[in-house]
Structure 1
Amino acid sequence: MTLAYIPSPGISSFQLGPVTIRFYALTMLLAIIVAAWITARRWKKEGGRTDQILDIAICAVPAGIVGARLYHVITTPERYFGADGNPADILRIWRGGLGIWGAVLLGALAAWAWCRHKNYPTALLADSVAPALLVAQAIGRLGNWFNQELYGAPTTLPWGLKIDAAGSAIGSSEQCYDGATCPTGTLFQPTFLYEMIWNLIGAALLVWIGHKAVNVLKAGSLFALYVMWYTLGRTWIEALRIDFAHEFLGVRINVWVSMTVFFLAAAAFVLIGRKGKPTSLLSEKLRTITELEVRQESEARSK
């Protein structure tokens, strides 16, 4: 008899008049708001302003969402273009299916383009956003809990996840993902929780490292450490999951991607340490740009 387990919510949405509100979407929205708030606080300490971060977010967030969805569609095309696929489901992101690497890639490109346009130091922005991304990813995993999806293999651990088979959430009808039916009461590895904890620990470590090594690390180093920390955790967490995924040499594609990105980030960390610019130098540049913007805005209002 199971005496302890993590329960799953029986629903993944609710009605507000004629509108269906998805918990997955709410967690994504909360994650974006928290990430922007954390980034703005860190950016202001380096000499910037909150409205600069809001402008960057307006560009980066939509690009990140599009990138995340494209990554998911590209890596699991049969869900949308296969015999049983429906291309219209590509737009239904509330059902889950957002790939972090697509979000980071397109979101980073959009942020870089805006920073280049405004002459903001991109490396400084990257370090400001690094711990914020980990917190946002931790919050976003709650959406998988509400959808009852992306969990791991059956387990007897006291923190195993119990699926609500009578509920309406996505995972309630596909408990084992392999066509088999698990015995009633089967618990699963709560991979959403593992990643939440891993990401929050990583965010705290990045803040601590940034504070202790502010005069040692070059600008951009914290972002490289963020990528290394996340991919290190994602490698073992991904290996626990039992949802359908394409494999190469018997290993899930996302595991290969995580390992590859880890080594690229490690190489980038070394390169930044050798050729990167000091954070203090870029902070002074940002303060100068910010003062110029404030002066220009003041002059414009006085005309």
Structure 2
Amino acid sequence: MYPNIYFLVKEWFGVELDFLRMFNTFGLLVACAFLAGAWVLTKELKRLQSKQYLKPVYKKITVGKGAETSTIISNAFFGFILGFKIIGIFTVAGALKNPQDFLLSRQGSLVAGILLAAVAGGYTWYAGNKNKLGKPETREIRYWPHDRVGDMIMLAAIFGFAGAKIFHNLENFDTFIKDPIGSLTSFDGLTFYGGLICAGIAILVYAKKNNINRWHLVDTFGPALMIAYAVGRLGCQVSGDGDWGIPNSAYISTPEGKVVPATFSQYEQTVQNNLAYYQKSLHGVTEVNDVKDVWHKTVKAPSWLPTGFVAYNYTNNVINEGVPLANCEGDWCRQLPVPVFPTPFYEAIMGFILFLILWKIRLKIDAPGVLFGVYLIFNGMERFLIEKIRVNTTSHFLGMHLSQAEIISFFLILAGAAIIVLRKNKKPEIIAIK
């Protein structure tokens, strides 16, 4: 596992560069997920605009007024934060050893913050007044929906992260009560459906405010969300963020981090030796008091398939989950005692396949909203199935033990089917563009 780029460069090239510790692999792949989603979203919006299904909005702006005081102050503020934290991470002793804790602390470089604030504020004033007119002019600017992709991606990032944290803490309320501040500010603990719901609401409100057809918009978001989800799950797999599956009792981990075949008695002995870990780990399906309480499945990899496809022990995982690794010192020196099913990897593969299907059929569907209905069904089915071998907290629902994700995915499938039935005969409106 590579909790940050430092570990990747060290393993691949044998070079240790401390400054690379600040580049978290999960964060980088999440950024790649947003970029992939933005590219698909832009391409689809332009396609619908070319078919005259979407229209632009005209707004009047005033140019030539010079730099506004509020803009100068806001840019100076962001310059201060950038200098205080980003430059500070290279200048404050020990910051690079644990960049996440540093970014959430009160530590930083005050001198760099003040200097960068002055540079940012000064440049904003200079640039604004350079093009200042003697008499400001009012101009009409045309905004197409694809011009607003940046705003929508930013809304998705902010409300998605907030929703993911809220839903995760609702699902793990006992842990939240014990440490509410730590639970809300930590980088781990994110629930995809919480992010999807909250980001979706924010973007729909934004679309209404900017007169964007919401049925066509959600259709463009279907493929975009699917590709973003696939790339994001790669981040979960590469960093080892805890979104993995249940133990595969056909294998155990050696102290050095290797995955080896095991008999069932060897599996039981390994669990017994590490029972303290399983009692406090993420196995929230049932209370763990004995070996038999650990939820597991026994699946041996066929000869043509690498063992890691069915049993992965997540050495050096980013959340420090598991037991100590032999001959490893410093941060992120743990592994899972019994390998688990690498469900993030499975979801990444399924996400890419479902994206390709959506990308193919989008050209054959004209009824606004239907493609999004198909996306909801795909998304719900994929997540409902993966939850059968994924570690998660469960709740009682209709007499069954289901996780929060299973319950939400069940309703997403129903919602997708309902949208398809209600929208399948709708024809897109051709809009005359002036």
Deviations 1:255-292 (A, max 9, x none): 12211221122112211225x4x23x1xx43x73xx6x
Equivalent residue, structure 2, for 1:209? 361
Alpha-carbon displacement from aligned partner over 1:146-179 (angstroms, at most 9, x marks no partner): 33222223142232243244x253264169xxxx
Q: 1:298 corresponds to which residue?
A: none
Alignment of structure 1 residues 132-211 onto 2, 5 Å: 132-148=224-240, 149-153=242-246, 154=248, 155-157=299-301, 158=307, 159-165=309-315, 167=316, 169-170=318-319, 172-173=321-322, 186-211=338-363
Cα separation, 2, equivalents of 1:135 and 1:174: 34
Select the residue among 15, 19, 22 that pairs with 1:20.
22
User: What does residue 424 of structure 2 align with?
Assistant: 273
Q: After TM superposition, give the deviation of residue 250 of structure 1 in Å.
A: 2.6
> Which piece of structure 1 moves more, 145-154 or 11-20?
11-20
TM-score of the two chains, using structure 1 as the length reference = 0.76
Matches within 5 A, 1:285-300: 285=431, 288=433
**Residues 75-98 of structure 1 deviation map (CA, whole Å, 9 limit, x = unaligned):** 11222213xx352231222x2x22
Q: CA distance change for structure 1 residues 18 and 86 in 2, over 3 Å: closer, same or farther?
A: farther
Rounded to whole Å, the distance in 2 between the matches of 1:43 and 1:142 is 26
In 2, Cα distance between equivalents of 1:198 and 1:19? 30
SS at match of 2:200: helix
**Which one of 29, 42, 45 corresponds to residue 44 of structure 2?**
42
1:233 and 2:382 aligned: yes
Query: CA shift at 1:50, angstroms?
Result: 3.4
Tell me by how many angstroms 1:16 deviates. 6.0
Of the three residues 84, 89, 99, the one matched with 2:183 is 89
The 3-state SS of whatever aligns with 1:250 is: strand
The answer as to 2:311 corresponding to 1:219 is: no
1:251 aligns with 2:402: yes
Whole-Å separation in 1 of the counterparts to 2:351 and 2:149: 22
Provide the C-alpha distance between the structure 2 equivalents of 1:18 and 1:106, rounded to a whole number of angstroms. Answer: 32
CA distance in 1, matches of 2:235, 2:218: 25
Deviation at 1:141, TM superposition (A): 0.7
SS class of match (2:424): helix
Q: Are residues 79 and 268 of structure 1, via their aligned partners in 2, closer, same or farther at CA, if it must alter by over 3 Å?
A: same
> CA distance change for structure 1 residues 187 and 62 in 2, over 3 Å: closer, same or farther?
same
The whole-number CA distance in structure 2 between the counterparts of 1:245 and 1:127 is 32
Partner Cα separation in structure 2 for residue 123 and residue 161 of structure 1: 42
Query: In 2, are the aligned partners of 1:146 and 1:169 still within 8 Å (CA)?
Result: no
From 131, 136, 149, the counterpart of 2:223? 131
Separation (CA, whole Å) in 1 of partners of 2:3 and 2:156: 31
Q: Which residue of 1 aligns with 2:272?
A: none
Give percent identity, aligned residues only: 20
The aligned amino acid for 2:245 is G
- Contact 1:163/1:172 (CA < 8 Å) preserved in 2? no
Counterpart CA distance in 2 for 1:169 and 1:183 is: 12
- Give the Å deviation of 1:104: 1.9
Structure 1 gap segments, 5+ residues each: 1-8, 176-181, 292-303
Count of aligned positions: 259
**CA–CA distance in structure 2, aligned partners of residues 174 and 86 of structure 1:** 26
Aligned pair partner of 2:3 in 2, 11, 15? 11
Counterpart-to-counterpart distance in 1, 2:345 and 2:336: 23
Higher helix share: 1
Cα shift readout 1:91-124 (whole Å, capped 9, x = no counterpart): 222x2x2222222222122111121111111111
Structure with more contact order per residue of length (Cα contacts < 8 Å, sep ≥ 6): 1
Unaligned runs of 5+ in 2: 7-16, 50-143, 249-298, 302-306, 325-334
Question: 1:19: how far off?
Answer: 7.0
Deviation at 1:49, TM superposition (A): 5.3
